[in-house]
């Protein structure tokens, strides 16, 4: 495909995308296909001679769309959001077309330098403690990772390397006595980071608000020290996946300081809310953390992938993974970050472009309005639930997640209700379970969700409950 042909095809694709997103409400949110649906729709092997673009365009509706779960649909209320936006899509087109791989400053200076500035802009928008930001005197700074899972792993490996150096070991020595901590409500990626790092991870029992608190963590640490283990890392969660609960960062941070643990804060979903001052109380104690991460690709209108991570002392990560072959060296080394040292892969895309476009096209006020609207829609759904005596809310609604269930029914009946709701195809939700109590999670996800969509969602829940003769 040459330039002129691309211009025509790209315009056609842009039209398709706008039509898709504008009319997405009309599509069934959850597909009805069965596993293996796609292979029979394609030839058994790649074509010998080029296909026509028009045939490829036609195949999007024939092959792809029947198997799409429409995450951007206003009727999608599952998991957590993955909001995209036109400015971020434009940035991704540009990034894909520049096609640079910004692993070091010299490999594309703008790629590194825009990221440095954007991570400061974003950190300021969230009201992060100043020492997480870049400054000529300080050691703080931010980096874009692909996912929160990767950010947690990078934090854990940095902490491991730091602790092993403190203990006089070389960072590559395996050390089976190292132990990490997180809450029993934290995302599975934290436990997975422990597995990948080859360390023991303790799941600390959360309190009745599903929060990890100081006394329980302290007890776990002391028990391990008594056994000769070496506590080195703790992850606090701000906005847990199941119930959007909030660990007590101050209590965790103080213990981390006392016992010499690296303290990482995972705010994958909830972090976007800190753009609004009224939600910042939820991150009280963040100044005690060594590293912090949230996903603009979840709730801040930045297309996947873009996971923002900050370190208070970036030397910890740079020194943890530092290998320096000649072919990656350059003369300006040390004057600006070489982001290859801050992450696991070598290659990296120009993802700061989408942060730049989104922050400029919405401004702080536009992004705040987006978050506030979504939180108010969650409260609207909460009111609907509370008006129906068959249901109960099972934990406080703080941001865009409402956890609810049939009050006087067992788990099986609640499971049946959700199964029927999803089978109806009008809306899509996923469940969770805490301490053996199964519940439904309604999340405001799409930027197109309006009050009427929330009413539609509630109508569907009620209808399915009626059909169960409840
Ligand atoms: N942490 C929390 C609290 C989450 O809710 C999630 C995903 O929903 C993750 C981590 C994992 O996110 P990612 O897919 O970016 O690794």
* Cβ(80) – ligand 1 distance below 6 Å: yes
- Strand 141-145: give its sheet, edge to edge: 141-145, 307-311, 291-294, 262-266, 230-237, 178-183, 200-204
* Cβ(232) – ligand 1 distance below 6 Å: no
Residue 393 bridge partners (DSSP): 404
E strand spans, 246-289:
262-266
Atom of ligand 1 nearest to the CA of 239: 3
Work out the burial of residue 413: count CB atoms within 10 Å of its CB; fewer than 13 is exposed, 13-18 middle, 19 or more buried. Answer: middle
Residue numbers of the chain with a pLDDT score lower than 50: none
* Cβ(445) – ligand 1 distance below 6 Å: no
The token pair at 311 is 């370190």
Cα–Cα distance measured from residue 160 to residue 371, given in angstroms and rounded to the nearest whole number? 36
Cα–Cα distance measured from residue 200 to residue 98, given in angstroms and rounded to the nearest whole number? 42
Cβ–Cβ < 8 Å for 63, 55: no
Cα–Cα distance measured from residue 53 to residue 159, given in angstroms and rounded to the nearest whole number? 50
Q: Which of 79, 155, 189 to mutate to test the pocket of ligand 1 (most atoms within 8 A of CB)?
A: 189
Specify the pLDDT at position 172.
65
Q: What is the dihedral of CA 38, 43, 47, 49, to 10 degrees?
A: -120
Report how far Cα 286 is from the mean position of its chain's Cα atoms. Answer: 18
Instruction: Tell me which DSSP letter residue 426 carries.
Output: S
Examine the residue annotation and report whether 187 is marked as an active-site residue of this protein.
yes
**Is the whole-model pTM more than 0.90?**
yes
Domain ranges of the chain: 100-349
Specify the pLDDT at position 168.
87
Q: What is the dihedral of CA 407, 413, 414, 419, to 10 degrees?
A: -150
Specify the pLDDT at position 67.
98
Q: Which of 148, 211, 271 to mutate to test the pocket of ligand 1 (most atoms within 8 A of CB)?
A: 148
* Cβ(294) – ligand 1 distance below 6 Å: no
Cα–Cα distance measured from residue 94 to residue 366, given in angstroms and rounded to the nearest whole number? 23
CA of 299 to the centre of ligand 1 (A): 12
* Cβ(149) – ligand 1 distance below 6 Å: yes
Specify the pLDDT at position 173.
64
CA of 289 to the centre of ligand 1 (A): 19
CA of 200 to the centre of ligand 1 (A): 20
Question: Which is catalytic among the residues 70, 187, 290, 297?
Answer: 187
Asked whether the CA dihedral 305, 306, 307, 310 is positive or negative, the reply is positive
SS3 7: helix
Specify the pLDDT at position 174.
67
CATH 3.40.640.10 fits 100-349, yes or no: yes
SS3 291: strand
Cβ–Cβ < 8 Å for 231, 259: yes
């Amino acid at each position: 495909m040459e330039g002129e042909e691309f211009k025509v095809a790209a315009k056609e694709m842009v039209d398709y995308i706008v039509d898709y997103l504008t009319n997405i409400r009309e599509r069934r949110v959850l597909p009805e296909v069965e596993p293996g649906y796609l292979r029979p729709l394609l030839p058994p092997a790649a074509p010998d001679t080029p296909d026509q673009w028009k045939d490829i365009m036609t195949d999007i509706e024939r092959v792809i769309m029947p198997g799409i779960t429409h995450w951007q649909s206003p009727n999608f209320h599952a998991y957590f959001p993955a909001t995209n936006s036109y400015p971020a899509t434009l940035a991704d087109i540009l990034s894909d077309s520049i096609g640079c791989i910004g692993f070091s400053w010299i490999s594309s200076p703008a790629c590194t330098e825009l990221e440095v500035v954007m991570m400061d802009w974003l950190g300021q928008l969230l009201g992060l403690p100043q020492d997480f930001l870049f400054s000529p005197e300080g050691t703080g700074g931010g980096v874009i990772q692909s996912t929160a899972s990767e950010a947690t792993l990078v934090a854990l490996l940095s902490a491991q390397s730091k602790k092993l150096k403190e203990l006089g070991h070389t960072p590559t020595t395996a050390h089976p006595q190292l132990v990490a901590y997180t809450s029993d409500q934290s995302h599975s990626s934290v436990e997975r980071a422990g597995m990948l790092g080859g360390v023991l991870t303790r799941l600390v029992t959360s309190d009745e608000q599903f929060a990890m608190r100081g006394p329980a963590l302290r007890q776990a640490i002391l028990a391990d020290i008594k056994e000769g283990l070496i506590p080195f890392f703790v992850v606090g969660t701000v906005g847990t996946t199941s119930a959007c609960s909030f660990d007590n960062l101050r209590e965790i941070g103080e213990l981390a300081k006392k016992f010499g643990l690296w303290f990482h804060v995972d705010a994958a979903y909830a972090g976007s809310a800190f753009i609004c001052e009224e939600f910042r109380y939820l991150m009280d104690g963040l100044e005690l953390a060594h590293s912090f991460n949230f996903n603009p690709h979840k709730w801040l209108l930045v297309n996947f992938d873009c996971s923002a991570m900050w370190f208070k002392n970036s030397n910890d990560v740079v020194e943890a993974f530092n290998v320096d072959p000649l072919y990656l060296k350059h003369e300006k080394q040390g004057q600006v970050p070489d982001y290859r040292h801050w992450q696991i892969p070598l290659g990296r895309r120009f993802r700061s472009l989408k942060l730049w476009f989104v922050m400029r096209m919405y401004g702080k006020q536009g992004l705040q309005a987006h978050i506030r609207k979504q939180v108010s829609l969650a409260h609207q759904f909460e009111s609907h639930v509370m008006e129906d005596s068959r249901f109960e809310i099972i934990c406080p609604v703080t941001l865009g997640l409402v956890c609810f269930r049939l009050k006087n029914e067992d788990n099986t009946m609640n499971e049946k209700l959700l199964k029927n709701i999803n089978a109806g195809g009008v809306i899509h939700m996923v469940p969770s379970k805490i301490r053996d109590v199964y519940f439904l999670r309604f999340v405001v996800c799409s930027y197109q969700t309006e009050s009427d969509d929330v009413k539609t969602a509630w109508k569907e829940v009620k209808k399915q409950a009626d059909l169960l003769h409840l």
